[in-house]
């Protein structure tokens, strides 16, 4: 199964002509999951090879405008571009994000008379009080749901921290389990871990032949995890004839943060194939970055090292950093310097560092 990540916006604070506001898409078999949706994301999608109509799930890391203001418009445009077959029931778009997101969409879609032809549900993550300074926490009054639900709004879940695993279970299906974990920022922020299920190992065909089992449908049953009873009455268990399971891929995407909160982030991100971490400012501006709830390349590298990620992808750069393609000799604020800073911090770790740029697509290859 193919799997890749495409960055639609890699700039911080606001969208600019050089860097869109935060948004990226994880694509598997044509289905797209959108992570964050800053203003202009729908236009960035149109410029990319992706199709907005394929978005089935949305994950919002935190409620700052540069990660959220594009969502109402995106939903409207996806709806306008969806072929409405009255015979067909359209799937619900599931939207995950911090408490307050439901009311945000209810009001923005409601007051603008926006009709969607598909239903949507907002599943809200309940932040803990240690995820931001007190002034960044939304009161119950602010997030209370007033006014009628939007006609296309379906009831969503409220997801609280599972203390035993220090994480939030968003959902699990046949292919993936997706969890969220806590970050520290000016307002509560989350990271997301997409974990593909392990695949069964190869069949030990030599052993199967010795056991008298010829290639055929029974091989498939064993591979699928079912025991097989031979005519002799002997039962073959899958564990006997399968090599070790092949680990599923893991992609972890962190929202804005100056640090992680609790044990959840490192546990969940352990061994990530792709760890996407913000690096708003260079190491030399660490104090300013932390003051604003952000990270430097060195700080991002420390997380990548702590969880033994395979590849660290930096994004969410201050708009002062132009894309490499527009960088001129002698320009200050060279974005490549951010990469060098992360690489310095990751020496001898074997962790590869990549700078995200708008429209960069990174494949996440299957493990073998």
Residues that bind a copy of itself (CB under 8 A): 13-17, 21, 39-40, 42-43, 46-47, 63-66, 68-70, 72-73, 76-77, 80, 100-101, 103-104, 107-108, 110-114, 136, 138, 141-144, 146-148, 186-187
Q: Which is nearer to a copy of itself, 143 or 259 (CB)?
A: 143
Secondary structure letter of residue 136 according to DSSP:
G
What are the b/e assignments for 115-131, b being 16+ CB within 10 Å? Answer: ebebbbbbbbbebeeeb
Structure tokens at 241: 């004839």
**Smallest distance, a copy of itself to C-beta of residue 135, A:** 9
66 catalytic per annotation:
yes
3-state secondary structure 76-109: HHHHHCCCCCCCCCCCCEEEEEECCHHHHHHHHH
Residue 366 is encoded by which pair of tokens? 């299957």
CB of 182 to a copy of itself, least distance (A): 17
Strand-pair partners of 30: none
Residue placing its CB nearer to a copy of itself in the complex, 147 or 227: 147
Q: Based on CB atoms, which residue is closest to a copy of itself, 80 or 117?
A: 80
The sign one gets for the Cα dihedral 308, 313, 316, 320 is: positive
Q: Could you tell me which residues are beta bridge partners of residue 362? A: 5
- Given 3-state DSSP classes, what are the helix, strand and coil percentages for the chain, each rounded to the nearest 5? 25, 25, 45
Smallest gap, in angstroms, from Cβ of residue 170 to a copy of itself?
21
Of residues 102 and 249, the one with the C-beta less far from a copy of itself: 102
Least distance from a copy of itself to the Cβ atom of residue 61, Å: 13
Looking at 36, 66, 273, 358, which residue is catalytic?
66
**Residues with catalytic function:** 66
């Amino acid at each position: 199964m193919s799997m890749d990540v495409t960055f639609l916006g890699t700039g911080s604070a606001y969208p600019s002509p050089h860097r869109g506001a935060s948004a990226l898409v994880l694509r598997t078999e044509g289905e797209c999951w959108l992570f964050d949706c800053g203003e202009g994301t729908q236009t960035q999608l149109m410029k990319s090879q992706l199709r907005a109509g394929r978005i089935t799930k949305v994950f919002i890391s935190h409620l700052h405008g540069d990660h959220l203001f594009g969502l109402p418009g995106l939903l409207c445009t996806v709806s306008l571009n969806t072929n409405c077959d009255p015979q067909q029931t359209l799937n619900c778009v599931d939207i995950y994000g911090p408490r307050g997101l439901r009311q945000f969409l209810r009001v923005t879609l409601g007051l603008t008379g926006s009709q969607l032809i598909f239903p949507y549900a907002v599943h809200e993550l309940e932040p803990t009080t240690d995820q931001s300074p007190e002034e960044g926490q939304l009161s119950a009054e602010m997030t209370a749901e007033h006014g009628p639900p939007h006609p296309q709004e379906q009831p969503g879940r409220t997801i609280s921290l599972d203390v035993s695993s220090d994480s939030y279970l968003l959902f699990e299906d046949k292919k993936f389990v997706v969890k969220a974990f806590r970050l520290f920022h000016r307002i509560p922020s989350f990271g997301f871990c997409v974990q593909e299920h392990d695949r069964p190992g190869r069949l030990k065909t030599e052993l199967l032949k010795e056991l008298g089992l010829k290639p055929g449908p029974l091989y498939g049953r064993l591979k699928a995890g079912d025991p097989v009873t031979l005519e002799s009455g002997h039962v073959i268990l899958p564990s006997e004839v399968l090599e070790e399971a092949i680990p599923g891929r893991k992609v972890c995407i962190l929202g804005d943060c100056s640090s992680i909160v609790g044990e959840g982030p490192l546990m969940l991100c352990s061994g990530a194939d792709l760890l996407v971490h913000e690096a708003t400012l260079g190491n030399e501006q660490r104090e300013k970055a932390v003051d604003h709830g952000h990270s430097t390349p060195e700080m991002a590298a420390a997380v990548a090292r702590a969880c033994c990620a395979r590849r660290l992808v930096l994004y969410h750069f201050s708009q002062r950093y132009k894309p490499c393609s527009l960088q001129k000799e002698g320009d200050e604020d060279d974005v490549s310097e951010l990469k060098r800073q992360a690489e310095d911090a990751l020496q001898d770790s074997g962790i590869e560092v990549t700078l995200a740029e708008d429209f960069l697509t990174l494949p996440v290859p299957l493990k073998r």
